[in-house]
Structure formats: structure tokens, C-alpha cells
Amino acid sequence: MKEQILDSMDIERERGITIKSQTVSLPYTAPDGSKFLLNLIDTPGHVDFSYEVSRALASCEGALILADASQGVEAQTLANLYLAMEHGLEVLPIINKIDLPSAEIEWVKNQIDEDLGLDSEQALLVSAKVGTGVDKVFQAIVDRIPPPTVENTGAFKALIFDSHYDAFRGVIIHVRIFEGNIKKGDRIQFMSNNATYKVEEVGLFQIKRNPQKSLEAGQVGYFIAGIKLISDVKIGDTVTMPDKRCDKALGGFREPTPVVFSSMYPVASDDYVELTEALEKLKLNDASLIYEKDSSAALGFGYRCGFLGLLHLEVVQERLEREYDISLILTSPSVQYEVTYVSGEVKIIDNPTEYPDPTEIKCVREPIIKASIIVPDKYMGNVMQVCHEFRGVSTNYQYLTSNRMEMKFILPLAEVVYEFYDRLKSVTQGYGSFDYQMAGFQETNLVKLDFLINGERVDALSMLIHRDKAETKARAACKKLREEIPRQQFKIPIQGAIGGKIIARETISAYRKDVTAKCYGGDISRKRKLLEKQKKGKKRMKMVGSVEIPQSAFLSVLKSD
């Protein structure tokens, strides 16, 4: 045993957040001696991983809503409560961390009444760290959350809510069983593509996989059927059996809508096949990752990937590098823009390389979001300032309690994907919480910012950006590139350009041999002659020399100060 045992990935432990939902089946004996099996699923709280939460809710009967005794109800808590209510789940409010010296239980109870609209008298007081009140939580689950309803139609029906890849056993499928039972030797069939397999092992998740003889309706567990074809498995698909086929598939999950797009290329172009396999395996475990083939003049073949946010992008990049040992180059993240041509045609563009000539464009519209920010009222001015910096417009604000307020803004998504969340956490000293939903498109003044290194345009560094911010971004990026690109025997100009107009420039000075060292005394024209000869050589070298751009240079452009 160790702390945070369900946050088993290295990245989760380092960052102190939950990224991946984890399932566990817990045997519980009530004080009266009756035995129960509780299937629990631990879900992430960050807005980038809300898709994990919506998937978990589709396979559950109830939800435990946790509020921190010192921080109170956060914006994500509200968003996840609405998700649980949409699924018609029984909700139990729990106040955790009551052992903290800064715990204010009455204040949080008040918020549960006012913000969440739940009965605070029903709220359970718990300290998971010390163990206070945990037994009461189990009893409340048994008493207040309904058991799964089971239909006996003689058919077999189960929902795939997650899966992961094992190098020795193939795809391991996580299922919630709605009808019938499953055991070793059964033949199963996926309803989306009618692929059939023979079951080799079934079992429960009890921190590690615990094999069982069979799984019954209402249970949550896994099965292994030697599935090597990753494309056969789709999360949200219904599993049935050819001889006990169910009438219709379960509802599944709505497809996630990616909001941030970036291209990934392997540093060594020979690793393209490995990258393809790694993305397929990662997709099993992260259904919200969307990718398609892409190619670049500078970087060769790669994939254009869609993510639910910048944290999601960072996590995917780290998982590919750690779990599959692939070095990657990422292009600048962008969002989807709606471009209306002069001819009247409308196109959605998320890649700077597809951006048309400005003379062909009638107007460009960018995606906007409705943001809800919950903060203590003393930070109101700071939050206003940050939102205006990011081109936000305040729509309204209201007091939730005497000193906590909910502020609503309309913000351009392109601004939010960079460092908005980090800035918000900084100016509110960690007390601000943020949640958002898409709110359509609005017209914007967009330009394509290109970078030229030694006079050559590097397509992987191009980005689509609002005109007002283009110059500051170009200057900052040129400075960073100057620090990252190694010096050569010739001068390297680094330029930021919009179309043919250069708006920023930095120069990497050349290494220079002292050719006049052997001239002592004598006429100055001898020295000048040698320097002119060197100058011509450098000029010739500049024409044929190529500049290697290290991977760190691509990443430095993405990072802000």
C-alpha cells in the first residue's frame, strides 16, 4: 500500500492531480453482518478531463460530491454536479479534509445549501487522511444509492467504459454488465463492428486485476479475450454474445469535441511507425484524443491531434515520451477558426498551413467560451484585469455567499488555451476555480504569423494570432529562438513576419576566426584585404549553409514567460 494508490501514473503523482479515472470493487460488510460489493470510480476534477467524468457517470447509479472543508465549493464541483443530475444520479454531498486547522465546516455547509442546492444536513463529515467518518460513507452508499437494476431477458449486454493495452495480453476491456453473465470460454461480440472473440479471463479491479470465475449483471470488471486489433475496440460500444444477442445497443457516450489542435512529429523520421502504434494504444486509454495524418515540409510525416485543453496536450505528450519512449516535436497549439471566403464559401481551419491568402478572405470568426469563475471577492479586481488582458468581456457577477462570488465572462478560446488558467490561479493565490463551455463563434481580426530562420520560412513555427498581439508574440518568440538555436560560422537572422512585412528580428552572431592575427604592423590595407576575403567566405557559407533547429527551440516558442 502507498498514498494516493489510485493515482498510479507517474505524471499524476508528480503533478498531484488525477488524470485517469480508476475503478475499484470494494467488499463491504455492514454492522448488521450483511455483505455488499461497492463498485467505485475515482474521477479527475480538472476541466480538461471532464470527458473522463461524463463517461464514468454513464455507468454509475450515484455520485459522491466532495467539497474541501477549507476551499469550499469550486466551479468544477458545480459543473460535475450538473452532469450527475443530467444522468439522474443520486448525489451524496461529502465535506472532506475536516482535520485541517483551516477547516470551516459551517461555511461549507452554507455553500452546499446555496451553491449546490443540496441538503447540507445530509452532508457527511469526513477526513480521508485520518480515516474519520469513512465507515459512515460506506453505510450511506448502501442506504441512499439504489442498487443496479437488472433485467432478465436471457440476453447478454455490457457497456465498455474504458480499456488499456497490455503488451502480453492484448487489449484489456473495462465493462459494466447490464444483463446476463460472462465467464471464461464464452464468445463475445462487439455491436459496432460485429467482431467476435473468445474470453480468456474475467475479473474485478481490486487495485490490481483479481480474476473471478464469472461476472454477473450489475457488476463492474474487466475481460481479456486476446484482442490484438486495437481498431476493433471502441469506448462506449456495447458487448453482447452471438448466441445471447441483445436487441439494441446501449446509448454509449457523446463524442468529445476537441478545442486545441497541434501537430506531433517524431524527432527521428524513422520513428513514425512507432508513433502510429503508440497513438493507437494511448487512444484505448484516452478516448478523448483525436488524431489524423499530417505532413510538413520541415518535419516530415506526423499527426494532427485534437485535445480538450492545454493540460491534456501536455499530459499526452508526456505519456508518449515516457510510456512509449518517443521523442516528439509539437507545433504551436491552435483552435478552429471559421473562414468565410469572398466567394461565399465557409471553411473550418485549425492548421496555420491551410490559412488562405488575406485577399481571398471576407471575414474570420473565432470560437468563444462562456467562462464561470468562482473567487473570494477580494480578488475581483485581479480577475477582471486578467480577463481583460485576454480580450474577455464581463457579462455579470453575483455573490454566492457574503464573501464569495461567481463572475461570468465571454472569452476567446484561443486566449484561454495558452496560460489563462495558470495566470488565474496566480492572481487568486490558488483560490480561483474556473469552468467553461463553448458558446459559438464571433468575428475577429486574425493574422498568420510566420517565422523565417536564415531567410527560410519554418512552417512548424507558424501560428494564427490576433493582430493586436502579433508584434509582442513575434518579439518574444524571436528572442527565445535566438537563445535556443546554436551559433554557426555565419550570421543567422531570425525574423517574425506577417505576409511580406517583417515585424520582429533577432540575429545570432557568427563564430569568427581572427584572420588578422598573423598581420603585425604593415599597411592597414593588408588587414582589410584579409577581412574582405573572410566576409566573402561567410557570405558564400550563408547561401549554402543550413540551420539545424533543436527540439527545445520549438517548445520554447510555445512557453510563455
With residues binned 3-state (H G I as helix, E B as strand, rest as coil), the percentages for the chain, rounded to 5, are 30, 35, 35
CA-CA-CA-CA dihedral for 413, 415, 420, 421, to nearest 10:
20
Cell numbers found for residue 350: 485549425
Is 351 annotated to bind a ligand? Reply is no
Site of grid cell 457523446: 254
Cell numbers found for residue 269: 523520421
Count Cβ neighbours within 10 Å for each residue of 278-288 and write b for 16 or more, e otherwise. bbebbbbbbbb
Q: How far apart are CA 477 and CA 496, in angstroms?
A: 8
β-bridge mates for residue 438, sequence order: 369
- The two beta strands, 404-412 and 201-206, are unpaired
> What separation in angstroms does the CA of 22 have from each of 85, 140, 162, 349, 498?
21, 21, 9, 36, 47
What would you measure as the largest C-alpha separation in the chain, in angstroms? 108
**Measured in Å, how far apart are the chain's first and last C-alpha atoms?**
40
Is 361 annotated to bind a ligand? Reply is no
10 Å Cβ neighbour count for 434?
Answer: 23
10 Å Cβ neighbour count for 289?
Answer: 22
Cell numbers found for residue 295: 505532413
DSSP 191-248: TTT--EEE--EEEEEESEEEEESEE-TT-EEEEE-----GGG--TTPEEEBTTB--SS
Q: How far apart are CA 22 and CA 3, in angstroms?
A: 15
Q: How far apart are CA 402 and CA 140, in angstroms?
A: 31
Of 262, 254, 253, 256, which is closest to residue 320 (Cα–Cα)? 262
Of 332, 333, 263, which is closest to residue 301 (Cα–Cα)? 263
Q: How many CA atoms lie within 13 A of 480 on its CB side?
A: 21
252 Cβ contact list (under 8 Å, min separation 6):
58, 159, 236, 237, 238
Backbone torsions φ then ψ of 185, nearest 5 degrees: 95, -15
Cell numbers found for residue 449: 504569423
Q: How far apart are CA 34 and CA 15, in angstroms?
A: 40
Cell numbers found for residue 240: 453482447
Site of grid cell 480468456: 200
> What separation in angstroms does the CA of 485 have from each of 175, 449, 543?
50, 19, 18
Q: Which residues are annotated as a binding site?
A: 96-99
Q: Which residues are annotated as a binding site for GTP?
A: 96-99
